[in-house]
Amino acid sequence: MEKPSDMENPLADTTGAYALPESGEVVIDSPAERAKIRILQRDSGEHSGYSGISAENVTVIYRNGNIGLENANFEVPVASICALVGVNGSGKSTLFKALMGFEHLSQGSVTILGQAAGKSLAKNHVAYVPQNEEVDWNFPVLVEDVVMMGRYGHMGFLRRPSRTDHQKVDEALRRVNMQHYRARQIGELSGGQKKRVFLARAIAQEACAILLDEPFTGVDVQSEDAIIELLRELRATGHVILVSTHNLGSVPQFCDQVILINRTVLDYGETESVFTRENLQRAFGGSLRLHVLGGDELHEDDDARRVTVITDDERPVVIYDEDHNSKSKQDPGKASEPGGSNLP
């Protein structure tokens, strides 16, 4: 039944098989699955051009007539991390809702791994890591219960977890390094740990596409790095990850793709070509803090290169104007002192 979609898209059904490549504990049940893994290993290395998430002419109009998103077009390949960048109210959450099939599209279509969003087959393909404010942290569930929720879509009518389900939960917990917290009530965790639990749920769900809505708010730099490392691992195993963030400084650090959004998609594609000063100014207009520091302000010698510091509200992006080819670089660990200490 699912054969045809497998043919055009080998990623579609093998999400489980390529979990945990490094730990050597992957449970491979069948030769067919092994073959799929091989296809995957071959393809994911070269980014193979399979479309991970794509939107075509998407328009979302809310009930009250507000236009959340208009004529949005983009495409994100599999095995990539894509940043979704835009001002408040630019339609980031709206786009997520459209991808999850929650919001009726007035026009256009969204596909996830070749399947229309919201269709039953596509359902388990999308995992969503909610913003911290959306979760009731007093709810009587333990960490492992939350991760198990990712498995519900794989269970039968009564939602009785099988041995595989328990294994996947263990695996996911180990992967985010939260196995020692499994019996904690979810409210009794730090901000970064909470995020990791929901990431584990996404991993256990074996979704190919993972959507994270502002995962770095209320998370310290160390946890942020841990989460980023995890996202990189997920990318390496063929997932497509969409992250909305105001944390511009970390975008070049871990995202290979960027979508710039302001009620419509302004630009999308590889970070180097899209995440430029001109584009950011276009996306943010006046609401961006932009400091250009010319060489003469910084030091005495006659080096005329400039440093550009752009900040939305959190970690700034610093663009060093080296030999005037405007190469974008990441600034390691400057989150705590925006601006000042980036100077040479």
Q: Is 93 in the site for Mg ion (CB under 5 A)?
A: yes
# of chain residues touching other proteins (CB under 8 A): 29
By the 10 Å C-beta count (0-12 exposed, 13-18 middle, 19+ buried), 180 is classed as exposed
Q: Can residue 177 be called a binding residue for Mg ion (CB under 5 A)?
A: no
Query: Binding to other proteins (CB under 8 A): which residues in 293-312?
Result: none
Q: Are strands 257-261 and 265-270 parallel, antiparallel or unpaired?
A: antiparallel
Instruction: Label the pairing between strands 51-61 and 107-112.
Output: antiparallel
Beta sheet of 115-116, edge-to-edge order: 67-77, 51-61, 107-112, 115-116
Per-position DSSP letters for 40-103, written without gaps between them: HHHHHHTT---EEEEEEEEEEE-TTS-EEEEEEEEEEESSEEEEEE--TTSSHHHHHHHHHT-S
Determine, following the binding rule CB under 8 A, whether residue 100 of this chain makes contact with other proteins: yes
Compute the chain's Rg from CA coordinates: 21
Binds other proteins (CB under 8 A): choice among 4, 24, 140, 286: 140
Quick one: which segment of 139-147, 270-278, 298-306, 334-342 binds other proteins (CB under 8 A)? Answer: 139-147
> Which one of 61, 67, 141, 298 is in contact with other proteins (CB under 8 A)?
141
Select from 27, 57, 102, 166 the one that contacts other proteins (CB under 8 A).
Answer: 102
∠ CA 224-249-259, nearest 5°, is 100
Query: Mask: binding to other proteins, 105-134, rule CB under 8 A, as x and -?
Result: ---------------x--xx-xxx-x---x
Binding positions for other proteins, 202-261, rule CB under 8 A: 205
Contacts with other proteins by CB under 8 A lie at: 100-102, 120, 123-124, 126-128, 130, 134-136, 139-142, 145, 149-150, 152-153, 155, 157-159, 185, 201, 205
Contacts with ligand ATP by CB under 6 A lie at: 62, 64, 66, 68, 86, 88-94
